[in-house]
Structure 1
Amino acid sequence: MLTVKKLRDQTGYLYRATAELARQYGPIVGLRVGKDKQVVCFGYEAIKEMLTKEELDGRPQGPFYETRTWGTRRGLLLTDEEFWQEQRRFVMRHLREFGFGKKTMSDLVQTEAASLVEMFDQKMKLESDRNGGVVVAMRDAFSVYVLNTLWSMLASIRYSPDDGELKSLQSLLTELFASIDMVGALFSQFPFLRYVAPEKSGYKQFVSIHEKVWKFLKAELDNHKDTFQHDSPRDLMDVYLQMLDSKNKGNSFSESQLLAICMDMFMAGSETTSKSLGFGFLYMLLYPEVQRKAQEEIDRVVGRERMPTLNDRPNMPYVESIVLESVRVFMGRTFSIPHRALRDTTLQGYHIPKDTMVIANFNGVLMEKRFWDDPEVFRPERFIDAEGKVHVPDNYLPFGYGKHRCMGQTLARSNIFLFTASLLQKYNFSVPSNEGPPHTNGVDGVTPSPGEYNAYVTLRS
C-alpha cells in the first residue's frame, strides 16, 4: 500500500502508479492492500485473458461493494453468477423493447442533442460579448442530456438542466467519484476504520451520498407505482413492477434490486459518456484542426439546413473517429470494474488464489506507445484506414470484452457522435483569450474527470 501511495503521490494518478509498477514487474502485478489481495493487469494479452476467463468472472465482496446497497450486493455493476445473469438478461431484453439500440433510441438521442444545442443558443442570446461569443463551463455541460437518453427508457423521465435537486445530486456524485477509487476506499481495505475514523476513511461521506441518491430514486419509484398500469407498461420500471407482481418471479427480483439497478444506471449511465465528451471537447480546444476537419465533413454530408442524425453516421467517418478518440483518451486513464476469482486459477501463468480482486488498467491498451505511436496526441485519423473507412484495432477495448462487455456501448457511442456533430455543426470552440490552455491531466478518482475548464464558443460564420 505504501509503495502504491508513494508512486501515486509522485505521478498524481492511481492508473499511472500501477502503470509504473507494470513497467518494473511485468503485466501482472500482485498487491496486498489491507485485507484485500489485488492483481492489476496491464497490456493487451493480460487484459484480454482476464476479461474472457470464466474463473475470473466474479465481482468483489466486502463493505465497499455492499454498503452502497445497504448490506447486500444488488444491482448489475457489482453482482455476479446466476443472480447477475438473470437480472442482466431481463434488463437488456426489456430495454430493447423500449428502444435500446433501435429507432426509438435514435429519436431520444436526437431530441437531447437538439436540447443541448438550444441550451448553447440560450447562452448566446443572454450572455454573449461584443464579439458574439460566450464562455461556457464545459465539464458538466453534457451530463443531464446524456442521462435523459437512458432515463427516458428506464423511467419515462426527462430532467431539466435547471432541476435544482438533480444538480445538487450530480455535484455530490462528482465529489464522491473524486474521493474514491475503482479498487475501493480506505474503509473497505481496512474495515475497522468505519468505526474508529468514519470521516477520515471516507465511510461517512460514502454512506451519506448513497442515502441521498437512494432517497431520490425511491421517490421516483413511488411516483411510478402511483401511475403504474399493469396492462400497458411505459418503461423498464413498469415491466419490473409487473414482474414483482408475477407468479413467475425469480428469487433475484425485489424492489431493492430494482432501486439498485436504477442507482447503477443513474451513476454509471451518464458519468462515463459525459466524461468522454468532456475530454473530447477539451482536446478539440487544443487541436483546432480536428474541429475544422469535422466541420468540413459535417457541411459536406449534412449541410447547415438540418441537424445531423444517426443515419448520417456511416457517411461521417471522421466524426465517428472523434468519438473513438474521445473514448480512448478518457478510458485510457481508467480501470475496469473489478473482477473476483471465483476459484483458484492462473493468469498469464501466475497463480491467482480464490477471492482475489483482479482489475484491468486500460492505460496499458489505450495509451501505450506499443499500440499507438503518439498516445498523448488527439488524432482521430488513427482510426481511418487507407480507403477512408473507420477501422477499430483489436486492442481498442474501452468497453471491455466478453460477457461483462459494457451494456451501454451502443447508447454511449450514439450520444457522443450526435452531441459532438450537432455542436460542431453550429459552433466553433476555442480557448478563452484571458485563460491559458486547459490541462489534459484531469482529476483522479473512481474514473478521472477532465476537471473544470471553459470554452469560448462562437457561431460559425
Structure 2
Amino acid sequence: MAAAMIHNVHVAILVAAAATAVLVVKSQAARRIFDAILNAIVSRICFIPSVENGKNIKGPAYTFPDGQMKDKFFRGREMSYAWSEKYGSIYRIWAGSTPEVVLTDPKDVQALYSHASNHTKDTTANIGWLFSQLLGQAVGLINGNRWTKLRKTLDPLFSHKQSLQYIDDFNTSAACYAKSLDQYALEKREADEDDGHFVVNASQALMRFPYYEVAKLFYSNLTQYEIDRLWELGQLFTEVFAGAMDGGINRSPLTKLLNRPSWQRTRSYIEQWEAFTHESVKRRVDAGINDPLVSLWQQAAEEEIDRQEVLHTLAESLFANLDVTTHVISSCVILLADNPTVQADLRAEFSRHAYDVVGYLGRRDTLLHFCLLESLRLQPVPAFTLPDKPPRERIIGGYRIPKDTTILIDSYAINIRNPFWGPDSRRYRPNRFASIPSQQLRYNLTTFGYGSRKCLGYNVGDKMVHALVYQLFSQYDVSIRPDMKKKGDEQFKRDGGNWLALYDVELNVKRRV
C-alpha cells in the first residue's frame, strides 16, 4: 500500500510539472520532448518485467495528458488490431498516467479470472476525476463491504429467476413499442401516403425501449412527467459524461478552477438528479408505494448504504448503460436486417414457439438467443473491457504484473481473432452456438464481464433484447439501406462522437401483412 501511495505521489508530481511546462512552452517540439521525458519516467516507475529477460513490457508511449484513453474508447476497433499487431499478445497502454495491461489470448484471460473473486475497480475507471463525480460510487465501481452490501440489495431485482417474471411485461411493452416504431421515421408521411414502409436510424429508433424498461424496474407507477423528466436528465447526463470522456484537465479536480463551464454543467446535472430522485421518493412514500427506489433510499437514510451509492447506481443503470444497451440491441437488429436468410429462419422459429411466447423468450438455447450472442461476438461492447485490478501479483503472458495493476481484455481479439472461432470467425453465423457447450464460451467470448463483477443487468438485458427482436421481426420486414457500410470495409457506419461509437445505420422497415 505504501508503494502504491508513493507511486501515486510521483505520478501526480510528474503530471503537475508537465501541465505547467506545457502551459509555459506550447510548441509541438516542446510537447514531444516533454512526452518523451515523461514516458521514460513513468515507464520506469510503472515497470512490468518479463519473467524471461527482465525487460519492460511493450506498448505505445505515454503522451500527456490522456495517454491512449481516447483511442481506447473512440477508436477501439482500429486500435485493437493495430496495437496487437505491433506489440503482441500482451502489452501496456496508458489511461492518463495509469498503466493498463491488455490481454488478447484466452489462456491469459483464464489465468487472470480463474481466481477473480476479489478483483477491485477504480472509482475513476481510469477516466478521471470528473467521471468519478458522476459514477464513482456506483455499484460497478465500489469495492469491499460497500460493494457486498449494495449487491445484496440489488441482486434479487436482477437475478435470473426474477428476470423470468419480467418477460410478459417486456413482451407486452415491446409489442406496443414496435407497433408505433414509425414515430421515429426519418421522414414523416401523410396518412393517405402511408404504405406501411418507412426508414429509421437504428440506434435512435430503438434506444428508448430499454431505457424505459430499466426505469420501470426501479420506479413503479411512473407518471408521464417522470418519464419525460428522466429522458431530459438522461440527455443532460450524456452531455456532461462526454465532458468526462474528453479527458485533459477534466481528469483532475482542477476542473473546478480551469474548466468552469464543464464543472458548472456537471454540478447542475448532479443537483437536478438528486432533486428529481428526492421528489420521486417522496411521491411514492406519500402514496404508500414501496418499490425498489423507495427501498434503496430508505436504506440510505438508515445508513445501511450511502446515498451517493444510490444516486450513482441509478445513473449507471439508467444513463451510463443507455449507450451500452442501445448498442447491444441495435447491433443485433442490424446484423439480422443484413441477413435475410437468418431472418427467415428466425421467423420460422417464432412460428414453432407461438404456443408459448413467454417461455420461448426466456430460453438461451434458441436461434433468437444465438443471434444475440453472435452480435455480441462480432460487435463487442466496449472494445476493451472496463479496468480490473487483481489484489496480488500475477504472472500472466510471461510478465510479472504487480498487484493492483489495471488489466483489460481486448474483446475483438477474444471474440474474432481467437482461433477458437475457426476460419469463418468474421462471418455472421448465429447457429455456430448451437454446437458449442456453454462452458467453452467462458474465456472465448467476452460479453458482460467476468467473475463476481460481471454486469449486474445481464439476466434482464438478454430478455429485453429477445422481446424487442421478437416483436420487431414479427411485425416488420427489416433491411439495411444502401451505402450503410464504410467504403472498403465490412463494418457499418458509426457515430464517431459517441464513446461507444453507436451505429449510424438506417433501416428500411415495412409492416408485414
Corresponding residue of 1:417: 466
Answer whether contact 2:174 2:209 (CA < 8 A) is retained.
yes
Alignment of 1:214-293 (within 5 A): 215-216=272-273, 218-228=275-285, 234-246=290-302, 249-250=303-304, 253-293=305-345
More helix by share: 2
CA distance in structure 2 between the partners assigned to 1:146 and 1:239 by the alignment: 22
* Cα drift, residue 134 of structure 1: 1.1
Summarize deviations over 1:310-332 as a string: whole Å, max 9, x none. Answer: 44554972222111112223326
Corresponding residue of 1:348: 397
Corresponding residue of 1:437: 484
CA distance in structure 1 between the partners assigned to 2:509 and 2:226 by the alignment: 21
Q: Percent identity?
A: 17
CA distance in structure 1 between the partners assigned to 2:135 and 2:431 by the alignment: 46
Task: Tell me, yes or no, if structure 1 residue 78 matches structure 2 residue 141.
Answer: yes
CA distance in structure 2 between the partners assigned to 1:385 and 1:65 by the alignment: 43
| 2:259 counterpart letter in structure 1 | P
- Partner-residue secondary structure (3-state), 1:371: helix
Corresponding residue of 1:185: 247
CA distance in structure 1 between the partners assigned to 2:141 and 2:148 by the alignment: 12
Summarize deviations over 1:263-293 as a string: whole Å, max 9, x none. Answer: 1111244332221111122222322222222
Task: Tell me, yes or no, if structure 1 residue 212 matches structure 2 residue 276.
Answer: no
Corresponding residue of 1:295: 347
Corresponding residue of 2:433: 383
- Partner-residue secondary structure (3-state), 2:204: coil
Summarize deviations over 1:372-415 as a string: whole Å, max 9, x none. Answer: 233332221221239xx999734123122211111111111101
* Cα drift, residue 245 of structure 1: 4.5
| 1:224 counterpart letter in structure 2 | V
Answer whether contact 1:335 1:360 (CA < 8 A) is retained.
yes
Bigger Rg, which one: 2
Answer whether contact 1:59 1:80 (CA < 8 A) is retained.
yes
* Cα drift, residue 51 of structure 1: 3.6
Change in Cα spacing, 1:309 to 1:233, as seen in structure 2 (3 Å) is same
Change in Cα spacing, 1:262 to 1:171, as seen in structure 2 (3 Å) is closer
Answer whether contact 2:324 2:500 (CA < 8 A) is retained.
no
* Cα drift, residue 421 of structure 1: 0.9
Alignment of 1:88-107 (within 5 A): 88-93=151-156, 100-103=162-165, 105-107=166-168
Corresponding residue of 1:142: 206
| 1:239 counterpart letter in structure 2 | S
Can you give the 5+ residue segments of structure 1 that lack an aligned partner in the other structure? none
CA distance in structure 1 between the partners assigned to 2:240 and 2:201 by the alignment: 20
CA distance in structure 2 between the partners assigned to 1:403 and 1:447 by the alignment: 25
* Cα drift, residue 84 of structure 1: 1.3
Task: Tell me, yes or no, if structure 1 residue 115 matches structure 2 residue 176.
Answer: yes
Corresponding residue of 1:43: 105
CA distance in structure 2 between the partners assigned to 1:127 and 1:154 by the alignment: 38
CA distance in structure 2 between the partners assigned to 1:159 and 1:113 by the alignment: 19
Can you give the 5+ residue segments of structure 2 that lack an aligned partner in the other structure? 1-59, 487-491
| 1:77 counterpart letter in structure 2 | G
Aligned-pair RMSD on alpha carbons?
4.0
Summarize deviations over 1:150-188 as a string: whole Å, max 9, x none. Answer: 22121225586996544444445556666766xx83346
CA distance in structure 2 between the partners assigned to 1:209 and 1:365 by the alignment: 36
| 2:416 aligned to which of 364, 367, 372 | 367
Alignment of 1:5-16 (within 5 A): 13-16=75-78
CA distance in structure 2 between the partners assigned to 1:122 and 1:161 by the alignment: 20
CA distance in structure 2 between the partners assigned to 1:42 and 1:443 by the alignment: 26
* Cα drift, residue 356 of structure 1: 2.5
TM-score (norm 1): 0.80
* Cα drift, residue 424 of structure 1: 0.4
RCO higher in structure (CA 8 A, sep ≥6):
1
Answer whether contact 2:361 2:463 (CA < 8 A) is retained.
no
Answer whether contact 2:382 2:411 (CA < 8 A) is retained.
yes
Summarize deviations over 1:233-289 as a string: whole Å, max 9, x none. Answer: 63222112332354xx44xx1222211111111124433222111112222232222
Task: Tell me, yes or no, if structure 1 residue 17 matches structure 2 residue 79.
Answer: yes
Corresponding residue of 1:393: 441
Alignment of 1:296-335 (within 5 A): 296-302=348-354, 308-314=357-363, 317-331=366-380, 334-335=383-384
* Cα drift, residue 220 of structure 1: 3.0
Change in Cα spacing, 1:174 to 1:123, as seen in structure 2 (3 Å) is closer
Summarize deviations over 1:49-74 as a string: whole Å, max 9, x none. Answer: 33444497121255845534549941
Stretch deviating more after TM superposition (311-320 or 289-298): 311-320
Change in Cα spacing, 1:159 to 1:94, as seen in structure 2 (3 Å) is same
* Cα drift, residue 78 of structure 1: 1.3
TM-score (norm 2): 0.73
| 1:278 counterpart letter in structure 2 | S
CA distance in structure 2 between the partners assigned to 1:55 and 1:315 by the alignment: 25
CA distance in structure 1 between the partners assigned to 2:407 and 2:68 by the alignment: 21
CA distance in structure 2 between the partners assigned to 1:378 and 1:192 by the alignment: 45
Answer whether contact 2:69 2:95 (CA < 8 A) is retained.
no
